[in-house]
Structure 1
Amino acid sequence: MVDRGTDWGRWQSLTPESHEASAGTRKRYRIGFDIGGTFTDFALHDSQTGELHVWKRLSTNTDPSVGALAGIDDLLGLVGGSMDEVGQVVHGTTIGANIVIERKGAVTALLVTDGFRDLLIMQRPARYSTYDLWFDKHEPLIPRHHVVPVRERMAYDGTVVRELDETDLRSSLEELRAAGIEAVAVSLLHSYAANDHETRVGKLVSELLPEASTSLSHEVAPITGEYERTSTTVVNAYIQPAFRRYLDSLERALAERGFTGQVFINQGNGGLTTPAEVVHLPIRALESGPAAGVSMAAWIGRAHGRGDLVAFDMGGTTAKACLIEDGEPKMERVFDVDQTLMRVGTGLPVVTPSVDLIEIGAGGGSIARVGLGIIEVGPESAGAEPGPICYGRGGTRPTVTDANVVLGYLNPDFFLGGRMSLDVDGAREAIAAQVGAPLGLDAGEAAWGVHEAVTANMEHAIRAVSIERGRDPRDLTLVALGGAGPTHAARLARNLGIGEVIFPAAAGIASAVGLLQAAPRVDLIRTFVSPVDEPGMVRLGSELAELDAAVNQLLDNVTPGAERSITYRADMQYAGQGHVVEVEIPRCPAGELAGALRERFDTDYAAMYGYRYPDAQAQITSITVAGSAAPAAFELPPNAATGARARDESRRVYFPELSGYVRCAVHRRDDLPTGTQVEGPAVIEDGQCAILLLPGDTATVDGHRNVLARIGRNSDPAAGDLTTGTTTGRD
């Protein structure tokens, strides 16, 4: 690996002013960084000059903060700045999910109502792989001998059925202390309706196990569904000590470097919060990095007048897809951590508002192999250590990145802007031996097979977030993100019939840039069961007022006094049904609320299912209050290219529609002025990623270095010169 220390990410910003919501942001610099499984991405905004600098380096899997701090040092060294000039550090991470997946969390105990000791083992009765004879459910995070039954019982309406036996509980807690328990999850039956018993249990845990962290289900997930509520509380307790150590270490290391500003953590809902809130409820940050990428995609789409999008983010370890409608990402209440073979419903359920992502094991580091006579890719990844073979760091198994460099899609001398050289010969030899030889293919054909196989996997993910959500992908625009996403996006779009792809400037570090435009956000959920009638609406108003006050208090902890917006939503169903429809609660006089809410529910239900039941009773099952503050002022920098540095470059690139390798035009994105049109086949590369345009595709560079591509059809004759690609200047 060669590190040349090249500054490939300096641009001029349109908005030099900094955000005035807090003293920390009035300093010169804001830094966003996202730690992924293979790379850690960085973005720095200079509020005085308006410049934006970006950086990328390999993650340090043994201690992610080591690579993160080194990258921040690199970035400040690049601009000649110091840590005491940094007002904000905004962090996105998947450390929580990695702790669960790798089973490296705290030694945790679970306290449950007597009679529910096997809840984590039983899980749900659904069988997610009907014909898989070897399929099995996840092993619980907590072994059965650390699950303690508590003698107590609450009814569904909060009345006491059996008083809490504190004497017996004290004896059990003494045994847990002797066992070296580091964290305790408490999930008693119906605690969402009345938390008296759970609160008393929490106090006893704090008294007898003062060193252990405690998670109470009525604070973590105050909802019905005992398994989901318990699973969420267990995950929160399991990752809490590690999260606390990690964030404490990070803040301490930043302070030692002279940092006196604010640290914010991105959440799974795409909004920012404080480290203290994340330490209390780390489940809210389980998918914080990917959520920042989705926020970036929605932001880019709105800037181009596109509200209906698919965000496609392919990094080094996984690929993520998310549907965006009317400029807003789809949200979900429950998501799975550590899915089996990336199948929905097979992981550990966590109840917390998050962007509705589908994640599959298809990244640049995904390992390729031959099984049953076909090429298989992922979900196992080479990660950052040792990484793909072409990294030259000891990897021995071929990956998607190895295939892409063999196909000519990646420039081995310009990876990471020239800071890292790729070993093409090593990648070619491994693919030929491990993938090509068993199938009778040469290295190019085998590499194309790997590329095609991983693209097919991602095609299924995008169909899941579009077609399975009632949307035709042909009506959507694809936004390509991540270090590997732009290389696969045009082929993916063509296979799905998507006609337009947006390749944002800084697409390869989209999550880091997305962190700089993220806004503080809080989502609070509460079980609230009521018919839609006048008495119910009175109770609803009281519950909403209580949640509204809590949301505003939490926002004040992040940005005191900042302008904000609050929305109210309810999960509703016809009485007797099991599935719900989320409905926005209308703002109207109290006497009109029942009728307005019922009408909105009937309308939304009919829009989803095609019919309504006007004579059936409607009821609310839960309510959500979401609040967000204004984001910091930030825009992508303008395109300063004049075309004076344009290079006449080409290399051999593989296109199956052209029968193999052809000489293909290669462009540097930084050299292309606003209005430049590029016709495929062509490669447009920068220091973060490589955009691959297929024969028949036409791309235009906009005023902020975003590339907008019109995608040809598989059956169309290719446009332009198919062997070299063509470029035209400004319109």
Structure 2
Amino acid sequence: MDRDGKQIRVGVDIGGTFTDVAMEVGGMLHSIKVLTDYSFPENAIVKGIREVAEVAGANLAEIDTIIHGTTLATNALIERRGAKTAFITTRGFRDVIEMRTESRFEQYDLDIVLPAPLVSRDERFVLNERIGADGTVLKALDLDEVDVLCDRIITAEYESVAIGFIHSYLNGTHEKIVRERLLSKKPGISVSISSEVSPQMREFQRFNTVCANAFVKPLMASYLNRLVGRLAEEGSNCPVFMIHSGGGIISVESAVEFPVRLLESGPAGGAIFAAHIASSYGLDQVLSYDMGGTTAKICLLESQTPKTSKTFEVARTYRFKKGSGMPISIPVIEMVEIGAGGGSIATVDSMRQIRVGPHSAGSEPGPACYGRGGEHPTVTDADLILGRLDTDEFAGGAMKLDRHASDRAMRQDLAEKLELDVATAAYGLSEVVDENMSNAARMHAVENGKELSEFTMIAFGGAAPIHASRLCEKLGMSELLIPAGAGVGSAIGFLRAPFGFESVRSAYSRLSRFEANTINSMISDLIAEATSFVRSGAPDADPDLECTAYMRYVGQGWEVPVSIEVRDYADADGTLFRKLFDEQYERFFGRVIDDLDVEIVSWSLRATSRVVPPQKIGKIGKAAIAVARGTREIFDVQEGAFQSASVVSRQDLKPGDWIAGPAVITERETSTIITASREVIMQADGCLLVRIKQAA
């Protein structure tokens, strides 16, 4: 706490281009962006915290809590930059992670290339053991065989070992025995077992998940230990917590053990930030739009809650097509992510069409306009050429942008090849990236059966406010909210997240043979596991519990999530489970199937600490026209020409102040572009409400 007794909390989000830092001092927010250090990410964190503490008038020793999210684990998987990893499995199942599910993600591509497995075949080993589908031991481990394999792995100097046996989600005894033998022979070796990392059925996804955990575990352990050490050197000995992909906070120790849970941790913070704003305004249908320097993330929120899933894919290799990536079986906030950020590089393909991303200039060298050696045109360069960014006020004036470098890169790579002038090439680049994002949003909405014209967009991230108004025009959305601190939205979201953990487990049962004791025991185990993770960070927490049973008709291939009350059940409650399933199935598909038995495939239980809900506020209308501090020529797409736009400083706006587009609302971490078809009104909580122009 600071000298006045105010609690100081810090949220830190490492992105591909910028590291965002948000500091909350007694309810007051201060924020800053610094360029990400790829070699030593902790250096950017320490630099950012030091700078934001100076702005807030605090010192590092006064910080009470640091909450951190990072894409480091995701990037390591995408780039295949992890530990030398061995995989041990049941004899006969060595090639599961290479055979995948045998489905084709592109049906008519005769030259289809499946993604390479994370662990190559010569690094996959087998043991002659077998657990049955009911969890009983069909063939016990031969400890002599285990010892020989352990010696072989140690001699080969593997840094990390993944262990995944068939049906170990029901009985993990064999996996634990092999781990114990390995650790007894080489204490300190990194070992991950699937019965703890992802105790779920479907061996391809489970094996892949435990391999991913093992692959990034030494890297993440090294990084997190360095981070805690660096912070201590700077005088900050406060606890450091991590945001996980499901949107909750866990301890650093838990994160080191299960780093696969950190995949998508940064985007999860953004979804929490959007949910907080949606709750403040009572919005039940929201499209969260987060665009940073490297990627854009789109998430649907209903009833102020992000949509979640128990599986997702990393590193899709084929035009971001579903099925072409690396499946990971962990609870995650469901969103669509595309390679469209401020640093995304534009090229001209063989058909003379502009392509943007997925390659990014990142922070090293960065867009051409950063003056750090970048030579290719990016989205940020296009925004600068189109007048959306100011050369002297980028990042609050901390970084001067080089307009000449942007012009040169745009001319060489796009304009000359397409026989266009520089401004038209920049306009084309911008339209392509906006159309990519709008297509991704439409597809995500269609897959979830939603109509986006009924939604409100909440946009944040360094680049999203620049493109959000145009995206709303493309999607037919009438209202857009740009929250205060939008440029560092994910970092602020970390400060709004609860301590939380979701435990998952596969346990097969049929409703026709409903066994209450088995189900009660399963729920009790899930509660114990989930609450232990929550209390590792919040010892006094009395967490809220949410239980979900994944159910389906016998013979179906996928499950329907059904919310289940957390309590003890009796054998007669099988009829209640059937009723709940029928209601959910009918809601999804319109009708139920009579006289067909239902089975429960797996369970999840989410434990979350209670958080103070945001204060409810209402939208306010126009009061006074905002005073512009100047004008700037910006390109408006619908008008097809540069127009004189009012430039307004966000910090000068008072609740009710408004201005019609075209306009630019400037602030330290980003700029909000108001297109000619829109107007903007400052709200009571500091949000900008951007909407279709309305008559006075």
Please give the range of the TM-score, normalised by the shorter of the 2 chains. over 0.9
1:630 alignment partner, one of 610, 630, 639: 610
CA RMSD of aligned residues (A): 2.3
Aligned to 2:558, which of 579, 585, 604? 579
Query: How big is each residue's C-alpha offset from its partner over 1:24-66, in whole Å with a ceiling of 9 and x where there is no partner?
Result: x97642111100000000111112xx43211011101111111
Structure 2 counterpart of 1:505, which letter?
A: A
- 208-217 or 439-448: which moved more? 208-217
Q: How far 1:260 sits from its partner (Å)?
A: 2.4
1:660 to 641, 644, 659: 641
Identify the residue that residue 467 of structure 2 maps to in structure 1.
Answer: 488
2:162 to 185, 191, 194: 185
1:356 equivalent in alignment to 2:337: no
Alpha-carbon deviation of 1:285? 1.0
Post-superposition shift, 1:277? 0.5
Whether the aligned pair in 1 keeps the contact of 2:279 and 2:614 (CA below 8 Å) is no
Deviation at 1:210, TM superposition (A): 2.1
Decide which of 41, 59, 72 is 1:64's aligned counterpart: 41
The answer as to whether partners of 1:27 and 1:86 remain within 8 angstroms in 2 is no
Q: How far off its partner does 1:238 sit?
A: 0.6
Give the equivalent residue in structure 2 for 1:695: 676
Residue-pair matches, total: 689
Identical counterparts, % of pairs: 35
2:665 counterpart residue number? 684
Counterpart Cα distance in 2 of 1:659 and 1:336: 39
> How far apart are the structure 2 equivalents of 1:471 and 1:270?
23
Residues 157-176 of structure 1 mapped to structure 2, 5 A cutoff: 157-176=134-153
The Cα offsets for residues 150-184 of structure 1, whole Å up to 9 and x where unpaired, read as: 11111111222222122122112212111110110
Q: 1:674 aligns with which of 638, 655, 661?
A: 655
- State the match for 1:280 in structure 2: 257
Residue number in structure 2 paired with 1:615: 595
- Distance across 1 between alignment mates of 2:56 and 2:548: 45
Could you report, residue by residue, the CA deviation over 1:81-113 in whole angstroms, capped at 9, with x for unpaired residues?
222101001101111101111111111100000
The corresponding residue for 1:46 is 25
- Structure 1 residue identity aligned to 2:532: Q
C-alpha change, 1:330 and 1:637, in structure 2 (3 Å) is closer
* 1:468-617 correspondence to structure 2 within 5 Å: 468-533=447-512, 535-586=514-565, 590-591=569-570, 593-617=573-597
The equivalent residue for 2:13 is 34
Structure-2 change in CA distance of 1:546 and 1:656 (3 Å): closer
Structure 1 residues 638, 256: closer, same or farther in 2, change over 3 A?
farther
The alpha carbon displacement at 1:198 in A equals 1.4
Query: 1:633 Cα deviation (Å)?
Result: 8.4
Q: SS at the partner of 1:684? A: strand
Shift of 1:270: 0.8
**Counterpart for residue 298 of structure 2:** 321
Note the alpha carbon deviations across 1:370-403, whole angstroms, 9 max, x for none.
1111111000000000000000100000000000
CA distance in 1, matches of 2:655, 2:536: 42
Instruction: Tell me the distance in 2 between the aligned counterparts of 1:489 and 1:344.
Output: 25
Instruction: Indicate the residue corresponding to 1:9 in structure 2.
Output: none
- The CA deviation at 1:636 is 12
**More moved, 624-633 vs 313-322:** 624-633
Instruction: Give me the whole-angstrom Cα distance separating, in 2, the residues matched to 1:123 and 1:507.
Output: 40
C-alpha separation in 2, matches of 1:616 and 1:455: 47
Letter in 2 for 1:144: R
Q: Secondary structure at the match of 2:330?
A: strand
After TM superposition, give the deviation of residue 637 of structure 1 in Å.
13
Q: Which of 63, 76, 85 in structure 2 is aligned with 1:108?
A: 85
Deviation at 1:647, TM superposition (A): 4.0
- Aligned-pair CA distance for 1:129: 2.3
Q: Following the alignment from structure 1 to structure 2, what is the Cα–Cα distance between the partners of residues 547 and 477?
A: 36
CA contact 2:198–2:209 (8 Å) conserved in 1: yes
Letter in 2 for 1:619: E
Determine if contact 1:679/1:697 at 8 Å carries over to the other structure. Answer: yes
Question: Are the aligned partners of 1:572 and 1:583 in contact in 2 as well (CA < 8 Å)?
Answer: yes
d(CA) in 1 for partners of 2:568, 2:535: 28
Letter in 2 for 1:615: D
For the residue of structure 1 that corresponds to 2:311, the secondary structure is strand
- 1:270 matched to 2:251? The reply is no
Rounded Cα–Cα distance in structure 2 between residues aligned with 1:626 and 1:587: 11
1:135 counterpart = 2:115: no
Instruction: Note the C-alpha offset of 1:429.
Output: 2.4
Q: 1:691 to 1:256 in 2, by over 3 A?
A: same
Give runs of aligned pairs for residues 173-252 of structure 1, distance below 5 A.
173-252=150-229
User: In the alignment, what sits opposite 1:438?
Assistant: 417
Pick from 377, 382, 391: which aligns with 1:398?
A: 377
Tell which deviates more after alignment, 461-470 or 501-510. Answer: 461-470
Q: Given residue 339 of structure 2, which amino acid in structure 1 is its aligned partner?
A: G
- State whether residues 549 and 561 of structure 2, in contact with CA within 8 Å, keep that contact through their aligned partners in structure 1: yes
2:217 alignment partner AA: Q
Corresponding residue of 2:289: 312
Q: CA deviation at 1:323?
A: 0.8
Match of 1:346 among 313, 317, 324: 324
SS for the counterpart of 1:658 is: coil
8 Å CA contact 1:524–1:626 kept in 2: the answer is yes
Name the SS for the 1:161 alignment partner.
Answer: strand
Q: Is the 2:13–2:19 Cα contact (8 Å) retained in structure 1? A: yes
Which whole-Å deviations, capped at 9, do the CAs of 1:626-652 have from their partners, x for residues lacking one? 11002378889999xx99994431111
The structure 1 residue matched to 2:347, chosen from 369, 379, 402, is: 369
**2:123 alignment counterpart:** 146
Report whether the alignment pairs 1:294 with 2:275: no
* Structure 1 residues 147 and 534: CA distance shift in structure 2, 3 A: closer
Conserved? CA contact 1:37–1:383, under 8 Å: yes
- Rounded to whole Å, the distance in 2 between the matches of 1:62 and 1:207 is 34
Q: Please tell me whether the aligned partners of residues 517 and 634 of structure 1 are also in contact (alpha carbons under 8 angstroms).
A: no
Q: For residues 501-538 of structure 1, give each alpha carbon's deviation from its aligned partner in whole angstroms, at most 9, with x where no partner exists.
A: 11111111001111111110010001111112574233
Cα distance change of structure 1 residues 67 and 133 upon mapping to structure 2, 3 Å threshold: farther
Partner of 1:121: 98
Counterpart in the other structure of 1:7: none
62, 82, 86: which is aligned to 1:85?
62
In the other structure, the counterpart of 1:452 is 431
Q: CA deviation at 1:143?
A: 1.8
Partner Cα separation in structure 2 for residue 459 and residue 645 of structure 1 = 30
Do the aligned residues in 2 keep the contact of 1:366 with 1:382 (CA within 8 Å)? Answer: yes
Partner AA of 1:602 in structure 2: D
Conservation of the 8 A alpha-carbon contact between 1:369 and 1:376: yes
Aligned-partner SS, 2:441 = helix
Match of 2:32 in 1: 55
The farther-off stretch of 484-493 and 292-301 is 484-493
Q: Secondary structure at the match of 1:562?
A: coil
2:42 and 2:230 in contact (8 A); partners too: no
**What runs of 5+ residues in structure 2 fail to find an aligned partner?**
none
Secondary structure at 1:156 match in 2: coil
The Cα shift of 1:202 comes to 1.2
Tell me how far apart the structure 2 counterparts of residues 531 and 537 of structure 1 sit (CA, whole Å): 11
Letter in 1 for 2:285: D
- Alignment partner of 1:352: what SS? coil
Gap regions ≥5 residues in structure 1 = 1-16, 19-24, 713-718, 721-727
Q: Do 2:280 and 2:617's aligned partners in 1 also have CA atoms closer than 8 Å? A: no
Paired with 1:587 and 1:286, the residues of 2 have a C-alpha distance of 28
Distance 1:550 1:675 in 2: 49
Deviation, 1:553, is 2.1
Deviation at 1:659, TM superposition (A): 3.1
Q: TM-score, normalised by structure 2?
A: 0.95
Aligned mates of 1:671, 1:370 — CA distance in 2: 42
Residue identity matched to 2:257? H
